[in-house]
Amino acid sequence: MALSRRYFLKSAGLSLFGAGFVPPFLRRAAFALEQPGSSARKKILVAVFQRGAADGLNTVVPFGDRAYYSLRPTIAIAPPTSRSDSEGQGAVGLDGFFGLHPSLSSLKPLFDQRHLAIVHAAGSPDSTRSHFDAQDYMETATPGRHSTPDGWLNRYLEAVPLAEATPFRAVAFAPRMPVTLLGPAPALVLDDVRNFRFRSMDSLGHTAGPSPLEAGFEAMYASTADPLLDRTAREMFEAVSTLDRIGLADYQPASGAQYPNGPLGKSLRQVAQLIKADVGLEVAFAEVGGWDHHVNEGGVQGQLANSLRQFGDALAAFHQDLGDRMSDVVVLTMTEFGRTAHENGNRGTDHGHANVMFALGGPVKGGKVYGPWPGLGPGDLYEGRDLALTTDFRDVFAEVAVRHLGAVETQTIFPGFSVSSARFRGFLS
Amino acid sequence: MPESRLSPQLADSHIDWDKPLRDQEKAAHLASRITFGPRPGDLDRVRATGLDALLDQQLHPERLDDRAMEERLAGLPTLSMSTGELMQRCPDPHQLQRRQSLAKGFATPHPGGEAGPDAAAMSMAPLTEMGQFGDTPREVLAELGREELLRAVYSTRQLQEVMVQFWMNHFNIFAGKGPDKWMLTSFERDTIRPRALGRLEDLLVATAQSPAMLFYLDNWMSSAPGSEWCGPFGARPRFFPARLGTWQRFGPPPALRNQPLTGGQKRGLNENYGRELMELHTLGVNGGYTQKDVTEVARCLTGWTIYRPRQEAEFYFNPRLHDTGEKTVLGHRIEAGGMQDGLQVLHLLATHPSTAQFISTKLCQRFVADDPPPSVVQRTSGEFLASKGDLRAVLKTILTSPEFYSQASYRAKVKSPLEIVASTLRALDAQTDGGPQLLRLIARMGGPMFLYQAPTGYPDRAGTWISSSALLGRLNLASLVAQNRVPGTTVSLEAAAGGAASSPAAQAETVDRFSRLLMGTTLSGGSRKAILNSLAGDEGTAGAAGGGFAALPAMAALVIGSPEFQRR
């Protein structure tokens, strides 16, 4: 849906500024509209962070590794079975060695159609088992360093500036700005696109144009010398007026896609809406919590199964909803570390090391589990307890940044890490 | 009235801590930092009685009559209940179902016991008592959030409330972790509140012994290897009911039976609390402890656990879980044995210079600026050590310092969501029941109460609170409150404004009156001009009969939503 330039001029309340003075953010947006090709058909990355250290070993099950079953006597997922009466009782086979947790069965067709790739035994080389330290390290892509002030995707935005960027270039669906997008480059934080508006001003008795309240707020913030408030306000006002114009309340996902009701489904549904609305979205971030299953994680049924069902169904619905547009989109999932190879005494698992990452999208060379498998034998485990690492998460991030988003210079995006395509796993063409 | 200025930090990137505030600004500055914002008349009173009097009064809350506050809270029954009562009377819906099934004999208890030997007792309680209270755990938390908001708005002991919020965040506990949702009420009331202006060591010991913290950071199940709970089959303590697991029947899997116990992996020992105690509660991440210290501290704190977690849920030292060996923490030998080991560690940490530095830094961040100058941090740290962690002495040092009363500190802090709501309601002399809509708005602004997941708590910096969605939340708060569209909250703008304003000159005067009410000074030139222009440009207000009143909510909303009012 094209946005008319006239709309922006009208909603800016030009009467406030007088003819001739157009605030910088409007000039930027107006420019984008006059070059319709410039903000359309860009490559899009959707980063999904599972907060709480999701259990990779029960997500993509190494049923071909016998040690898996002796390590997890009660919560292991059984190998795939061809018996139809035990559907949902065992892993969904992928390649004869790995299988998906049965709650992720909606991802199986995507794997078979080669849209979904998996990188196993991936993660951070740092040994911390502190959730928030590890999340910080992953979001700043500087494991071991507490002092990094910005997130890797914000550094990408700075490294690849866009003259005609709209405020929707980077959008996070989170209660606060996630560290991943923290930094000097502008990024929007949205809670709900349907609700991202000013509350009704009807009782103040206006009829036409923006209410004096909105115009007054806008003018105040435009004149403030407070740089943080000024910048944030500009992005917020433009986002509100754009979303209002697009009218996202009655969105119907395409192709019968049905997003599950949880937070990830809700976020991805909105990401899809923004993509289709062509507002210039390039980097989206969503997060989902509740993975820290120290107690009663469960196997085929249980807490993890429930979380995975929401997770898989949300990704599958997103894929279905976007349809052809997935050719420009990559969804990358990540979590701060894995969990212990063995179960603990509470039918759960404790903090571990390496984990699993998913890459979903048109450009993905799917249908394969990438990364050497280190094994789960006693001598193979990291510190005698965890899945060992064979892929640094920064190599996965870098492959996406270089091969999908087209970043050329990676030194600033991944400081202290030398990116080499020789180490890319090759899940992107 | 002095014309307001923005903090020079914003206009000029070089921060000069040597320029003092003008006298007329000091009252507003002190009030905005040690209270949740001035109410009508407060600033005149402070100017009359003096800054020292205000500070002294607030540093001694016990001398202040707060009975009206307690009356306001009388209608919130969960606030006075013990954790055990809350668990019993406000169960999760599925727990209630299960209890009812047990009582009716429709289900059999698990072989390991629903919660040990007390399951029988619980299942015998008459159905009429179980869950009849009607609250779910979510409502328990909502009531607690309401209390925090009401106290921030109405308590006479404002600095105490400011410090309660500071410590609740410093010792952050995530309500979403298991039974912590029932434990926070007691944590706030019995652990934090009585000690908010006391000595740090008392706070440390109390939080270390609080079931809420013991559960949140897993110390309740930390035990020495070879201790009873970590018996021959590696059994772990259970909080929630479970069937007898494979380990209990057959022992740990073969892969683990001959596992060597590596450092930090001693079966049974949980280092989570030991680490956070040093990293987040006392020394700080650069405070000079090692991984070995983390393990040793955890060993000292084994046995600090929860008694009857599903019934009374109280602190209990279980000597059978305690690691009685000798330990070394930060170079000190700990060999007393028993509960004394933990107390010795807590004393060591409470009096450590790194703790003085870390706590002083955080307090200066709360009261001076996001990045306080080293001079005030050092001085405060010195006072901390000299007074052995006496928080009143420490606060007095900060709040009388030249750095505090400098222009660089003026309006340097962005208000947290709770602070902006409370300061708005106080300034407008609102009548509020602290109801759910306000808590939802606080959540929308990025600060949902008791729901910060990490033990770090919300970082006390501007960037935590300013994002596009948070800012929209603030502007919506302003317009909803100003239009009296928050159920349970009413403001009388006519009283605040002193009457209608129909002419532009009168409008300007009213805007100035609102801003003096809310901030103690007028707005910046830019904000003021923007507001008056927007009012002038609106046909709905100029000339229409009674149009002046329609403009009052708009004016109030604009001032509450102004960039200046977002700061304190």
Strand-pairing partners, residue B307, are: B314
Q: How far away is chain B from the Cα of A413, in angstroms, using its nearest Cα?
A: 21
Residue A271: both structure tokens together: 């990401």
CA A165 to each of CA A38, A160, A185, B4, B400: distance values in angstroms, whole numbers, following the listed order: 9, 11, 11, 36, 48
CA A408 to each of CA A44, A140, A387, A418: distance values in angstroms, whole numbers, following the listed order: 16, 19, 33, 13
Q: Which residues of B touch A226 (CB under 8 A)?
A: 6, 10, 563, 567
Residue B508 predicted with pLDDT over 60: yes
Portion of chain A with pLDDT greater than 90, in percent? 63
Can you give B404-466 as a three-state secondary structure string? CCEHHHCCCCECCHHHHHHHHHHHCCCEECCCHHHHHHHHHCCCCCCCCCCCCCCCCCHHHHC
The whole-chain average pLDDT of chain A stands at 86
Q: Could you tell me the pLDDT band of residue A346, with boundaries at 50, 70 and 90?
A: low
Q: Could you tell me the pLDDT band of residue B192, with boundaries at 50, 70 and 90?
A: very high
Q: Which residues of A touch B462 (CB under 8 A)?
A: 228
Q: Please state which of the ranges A316-330, B17-31, B339-353 shows the lowest mean pLDDT.
A: B17-31
Distance between CA atoms of residues B552 and B247, nearest Å: 70
Quick: pLDDT tens for B399-440.
Answer: 999 999 999 999 999 999 999 999 999 999 999 999 899 999
In this prediction, residue B110 carries a pLDDT of 45
Q: Please state which of the ranges A239-253, B95-109, B338-352 shows the lowest mean pLDDT.
A: B95-109
Would you give the distance in Å from CA B135 to the centre of its chain? 23
Verify whether the Cβ–Cβ distance B234 to A198 is below 8 Å. no
Quick: pLDDT tens for A184-198.
Answer: 899 999 988 888 888
Q: Which residues of A touch B11 (CB under 8 A)?
A: 225
Residue B469: both structure tokens together: 């969605």
Residue B306 predicted with pLDDT over 60: yes
Quick: pLDDT tens for A226-276.
Answer: 888 998 999 999 999 888 887 777 789 999 999 999 999 999 999 999 999
Q: What angle do CA A387, A390, A392 make, to 5 degrees?
A: 110
CA B191 to each of CA B169, B178, B304, B419, B546: distance values in angstroms, whole numbers, following the listed order: 13, 19, 16, 23, 53
Distance between CA atoms of residues B498 and B111, nearest Å: 71
In this prediction, residue A88 carries a pLDDT of 75
Report yes or no: B462 at the A interface, CB cutoff 8 Å. Answer: yes
Q: How far away is chain B from the Cα of A325, in angstroms, using its nearest Cα?
A: 27
Q: Which residues in B18-27 are b (16+ Cβ under 10 Å) and which e?
A: eeebeeebbb
Cβ proximity of B31 and A246 under 8 Å: no
Residue B250 predicted with pLDDT over 60: no
- Higher pLDDT residue, A406 or A130? A406
Q: Could you tell me the pLDDT band of residue B500, with boundaries at 50, 70 and 90?
A: low
Residue B264 predicted with pLDDT over 80: no
- Name the residue among B253, B469, B563 with its Cβ closest to that of A224: B563
CA A186 to each of CA A7, A38, A373, A413: distance values in angstroms, whole numbers, following the listed order: 23, 19, 39, 16
Average pLDDT over residues A12-41: 40
Verify whether the Cβ–Cβ distance A203 to B483 is below 8 Å. yes
Quick: pLDDT tens for B223-245.
Answer: 887 665 543 333 444 454 333 33
Verify whether the Cβ–Cβ distance A217 to B561 is below 8 Å. yes
Q: Please state which of the ranges B86-90, B376-380, B382-386 shows the lowest mean pLDDT.
A: B86-90
Distance between CA atoms of residues A386 and A53, nearest Å: 13
Q: Which helix (H) or strand (E) holds A57?
A: helix A56-59
ipTM: 0.80
Residue B538 predicted with pLDDT over 60: no
Q: Could you tell me the pLDDT band of residue B15, with boundaries at 50, 70 and 90?
A: confident
Interface test with A, best of B230, B415, B472 (most A CBs within 10 A): B472
CB-count burial class (<10 Å; 0-12, 13-18, 19+) for A12? buried
Distance between CA atoms of residues B189 and B405, nearest Å: 33
Average pLDDT over residues A102-112: 97
Q: What is the pTM of this model?
A: 0.83
Phi, psi (rounded to 5 degrees) for B400 = -115, 5
Residue B52 predicted with pLDDT over 90: yes
Residue B475 predicted with pLDDT over 50: yes
Q: Which residues in A30-58 are b (16+ Cβ under 10 Å) and which e?
A: eebbeeeebbeeebbbbbbbbbbbbbbbb
Q: How far away is chain A from the Cα of B54, in angstroms, using its nearest Cα?
A: 30
Q: Which residues of A touch B262 (CB under 8 A)?
A: 383-384
End-to-end CA, chain B:
18
Verify whether the Cβ–Cβ distance B255 to A67 is below 8 Å. yes
Cβ proximity of A354 and A382 under 8 Å: yes
Distance between CA atoms of residues B192 and B194, nearest Å: 6
Verify whether the Cβ–Cβ distance B469 to A217 is below 8 Å. no
Verify whether the Cβ–Cβ distance A383 to B262 is below 8 Å. yes
In this prediction, residue A34 carries a pLDDT of 42
Q: Give Cβ neighbours of residue B477 (< 8 Å, ≥ 6 apart).
A: B420, B421, B424, B441, B445, B560, B561
- Higher pLDDT residue, A408 or A214? A408
Distance between CA atoms of residues B510 and B482, nearest Å: 14
The nearest alpha carbon in chain A to B12 belongs to A225
SS3 assignment, position A334: strand
A-B C-beta contacts closer than 8 Å:
188
Q: Pick from B240, B226, B191: which is nearest to B299 by CA?
A: B226
In this prediction, residue B526 carries a pLDDT of 86
Q: Could you tell me the pLDDT band of residue B550, with boundaries at 50, 70 and 90?
A: low
Q: Which residues of A touch B446 (CB under 8 A)?
A: 175-176
Q: Could you tell me the pLDDT band of residue B182, with boundaries at 50, 70 and 90?
A: very high
Residue B177 predicted with pLDDT over 70: yes
Portion of chain B with pLDDT greater than 90, in percent? 60
Domains of chain A: 44-200+258-423 (3.40.720.10)
In this prediction, residue B106 carries a pLDDT of 58
Q: Could you tell me the pLDDT band of residue B115, with boundaries at 50, 70 and 90?
A: very low
Residue B16 predicted with pLDDT over 70: yes
Boundaries of every domain in chain B: 219-236+262-350, 353-409, 493-566
Tell me the residues of chain B between 228 and 247 that have a Cβ less than 8 Å away from chain A: 234-236, 238-240, 242, 245-247
